[in-house]
Amino acid sequence: MADKSGISDQVKGNANKAKGEAKDQIGKAKNDPNMQTDGKKDKVKGATQDEVGKSKGNNRP
Among residues 53, 37, 45, the alpha carbon closest in space to that of 18 is found at 45
CB 23 within 8 A of CB 35: yes
Give dist(CA 41, CA 61) in Å, integer: 33
What is the reported pLDDT for 56?
A: 86
What is the reported pLDDT for 6?
A: 84
What is the reported pLDDT for 1?
A: 43
Buried b (16+ CB within 10 A) or exposed e, 23-33: bbeebeeeeee
Residues 2-61: tens digit of each pLDDT: 566 789 999 999 999 999 999 999 999 999 999 999 999 999 999 999 999 999 877 655
